[in-house]
Structure 1
Amino acid sequence: MAQLFISYRTSDGKDKATALARDLGALFGDEQVFLDKDDLRAGVSWRAEIAATLRARPVLLLLLTPELLTAIDGNGRLRIADPADPVRRELSDALTGGAHVIPLLCDGLDAPPTAADLPEPFNRIGEFTWRPLRAYDWQHDLARLVDDLRALGIVAAGPAATNGGQSATPTASARRRWLVPALAGAVFALGVGWYAVQRSPTTAAARPSATDPGDVTGAWLATLATDETLSLSLRQSGDQVELNSRPVAIGRRADWADYRRFWRERFGSELDFVTYRGKGSASSLPGDRLVIDIALQIVSSPGDTLTDTGNLHATLGADGTTMTGTLWLNSKQAERPLRLVRTPKSN
């Protein structure tokens, strides 16, 4: 039974709940994290399934978003005041079952609401220690939450959490969450770099065939937008893939302005370059093209201080020289299209 239950308002908490489930699942094991959209079985009563999970006394992670507290129904009444409201039922069942509750203050709320002003059972959340969970400081907030969960006795479970996340037969839930390796999640929670990827020499393109899905080892140019490209090096060994990038200049990038300001205030220095690193899997079914799935870390360059995490998911083209896929960054809470072109080996 899952030890961690994520409760959220779908209207403005779904993306953050999904990212939180993915990162906690990478560390503690997907089977330890209950997220309704992934873990409700077909043909069962969703209320009964959730109630049964909460009776097992998991830790309830309550995502406090603006809509969770202020959403109204068709009659203009607060949804959290309605005994039938799903989020209210989840919190009520958790408290009745003796679960530990951790309210997570999300973006859009500058301070915890006054619990005494909230309807039951939300008027009890003041009894518990609050934690922030902000997109712009995702790694720091998540690391602190992970420390809290470990202090509560939450431990990794299952082979996916004890074998670097590279289970030979990943579960359906793990595939839905992009097979983020547990090793990456564990070490970014500590807020330090977790391995050094050595750049490998580029090799000739391995053209996929009916029996050989190909190899992605070599240099690649990744295009995220018309004016944004990354020079990447990939190294494949069997079903394992490592990624490293050249330093990326962010000093003039508008999308990094807020984080650079935060960095300046926190460390008293400028953040002008970052490097992408990653480790993941390469897999294919018979007759299908090779798919790579890589857990990413974006670190300062120099310094290797973690600034962001995410995921790269791409499929190798039939000619072995291109890949198309998506890039997810937790700080953005959004997915971007991605195209990679193999760089010819220089003589």
Structure 2
Amino acid sequence: MAQLFISYRTSDGRDKATALARDLGALFGDEQVFLDKDDLRAGVRWRDEIAATLRGRPVLLLLLTPQLLAATDEHGRLRIADPADPVRREVADALHGGAHLIPLLCDGLETPPDAATLPAPFDRIGEFTWRPLRAYDWQHDVTRLVSDLRALGIVPAPQGASQGSAATPETVARRRWPVAAAVALALLALAVGWYTRQAPPAALDGASSVADSAGDVSGAWLATLSADETLSLSMRQTGEQVELNSRPLAIAQRADWADYRKFWRERFGSELEAVTYRGKGSASRLPGDDLVIDIALQIFSSPGETMVDSGNLHSRLAADGKSMTGTLWLNSQQAERPIRLQRLATSR
């Protein structure tokens, strides 16, 4: 039975929940972390499955995003006031069973909410010590959370049991593959102009050249987000696993990065000159259907390896294997954008 249960509001917490689940799974073992979208089996009654998991008294990690508390239904009523709200049921079942709750204050909320003003059972979250979970300081926040979980008796998986090698709180924060960011900038705008002035990069990290079949996304791709906004990427697929990389992107001369670069200078005493995109995820296909990729993205400083944003890429490969269409989410923008990717020929 899972020892960690992640509760979140889908509308603005999905990607961060996915990222946290994969980070914690890398250290404690995937079987110890319950995330509904990953762990609900086909054909089961989802409410019964969640209730059964919560009866095991796992630690409930509650992602306090703006929409978790403020979301309303079609009549304008708060969803947390509805006894049928899934998040409310999860919190109520966990507290009723005596589970330990850790509220995680996510980007978009500057201070913990006044629990006394919230409906039951959320009026009890003030009884528990909250922790921050910020995209721009993810590594620090996850490392601190891991220490808390260890203090509660959650034991890391034996070496090789989860990711094939020993994990530490410090390395697991760097390994996350996905996902609300405090970065109030349009981070994807860094692709405008800079990449269009560059030659498309060859496939990175040993990625193969253009695949002959529609079942492999390995190679170089040009992603189009708008008429004047493109981003060059490289992907490598090994079985059902997919990796995404970009070369360092220069941002020193970009006006849209000025505010964040100022924040960086004040916080770290150095200049942020470039960033890189990375991601890991999965490729899957139902019989007779197109290949679908789902990649959790991270944006890192270069050099330095400090994460500055995160998000998710979800796309479908065309039957001819030459293009993909889908959506791109970045936590800094808290919005989904359509995206089209075109495969680029690379030298053999």
In the superposition, the TM-score normalised over structure 2's length comes to 0.68
By how many angstroms is 1:156 displaced? Answer: 6.6
Instruction: Give the conservation status (yes or no) of the 8 Å contact 2:71–2:79.
Output: yes
Runs of at least 5 residues in structure 1 that lack an aligned partner in the other structure: 166-182
Match of 2:308 in 1: 307
Tell me the C-alpha RMSD between the 2 structures: 4.6
Instruction: Give the conservation status (yes or no) of the 8 Å contact 2:276–2:302.
Output: yes
Match of 1:323 in 2: 324
Query: How many Å separate the matches in 1 of 2:259 and 2:44?
Result: 46
Instruction: Give the conservation status (yes or no) of the 8 Å contact 1:25–1:31.
Output: no
1:7-18 residue pairs with structure 2 within 5 A? Answer: 7-8=7-8, 13-18=9-14
Match of 2:211 in 1: 206
Query: How many Å separate the matches in 2 of 1:283 and 1:90?
Result: 29
Helix, strand or coil for the counterpart of 1:95?
Answer: helix
By how many angstroms is 1:59 displaced? Answer: 1.2
Residue 341 of structure 2 is aligned to residue 336 of structure 1: no
Query: How many Å separate the matches in 1 of 2:316 and 2:37?
Result: 28
Residue 145 of structure 2 is aligned to residue 141 of structure 1: no
Change over 3 Å in CA distance of 1:59–1:344 after alignment to 2: same
Aligned to 1:21, which of 17, 23, 28?
17
Query: How many Å separate the matches in 2 of 1:330 and 1:164?
Result: 29
Residue 162 of structure 2 is aligned to residue 162 of structure 1: yes
1:82-121 residue pairs with structure 2 within 5 A? Answer: 90-115=90-115, 121=121
By how many angstroms is 1:101 displaced? Answer: 0.9
Give the AA of the match of 2:173.
Answer: A
Per-residue Cα deviation, 1:180-200 (whole angstroms, up to 9, x for no partner): xxx9x994515899xxx9544
Query: How many Å separate the matches in 1 of 2:3 and 2:330?
Result: 26
Helix, strand or coil for the counterpart of 2:22?
Answer: helix
Match of 2:263 in 1: 262
By how many angstroms is 1:37 displaced? Answer: 10
Helix, strand or coil for the counterpart of 1:335?
Answer: strand
Larger mean Cα displacement after TM superposition, 243-252 or 60-69: 60-69
Helix, strand or coil for the counterpart of 1:21?
Answer: helix
Query: How many Å separate the matches in 2 of 1:192 and 1:50?
Result: 24
Per-residue Cα deviation, 1:134-154 (whole angstroms, up to 9, x for no partner): 455555434433443344344
Helix, strand or coil for the counterpart of 1:141?
Answer: helix
Helix, strand or coil for the counterpart of 2:63?
Answer: strand
Change over 3 Å in CA distance of 1:230–1:83 after alignment to 2: closer
Per-residue Cα deviation, 1:58-102 (whole angstroms, up to 9, x for no partner): 112233355655678999998767877765554343233221111
Match of 1:2 in 2: 2
Number of aligned residues? 317
Change over 3 Å in CA distance of 1:240–1:44 after alignment to 2: closer
Instruction: Give the conservation status (yes or no) of the 8 Å contact 1:102–1:128.
Output: yes
Query: How many Å separate the matches in 1 of 2:236 and 2:313?
Result: 14
Give the AA of the match of 2:104.
Answer: L
Give the AA of the match of 1:93.
Answer: D
In the superposition, the TM-score normalised over structure 1's length comes to 0.68
Match of 2:196 in 1: none
Per-residue Cα deviation, 1:251-276 (whole angstroms, up to 9, x for no partner): 45566555434322321223231112
By how many angstroms is 1:23 displaced? Answer: 1.9
By how many angstroms is 1:292 displaced? Answer: 4.0
Larger-gyration structure (1/2): 1
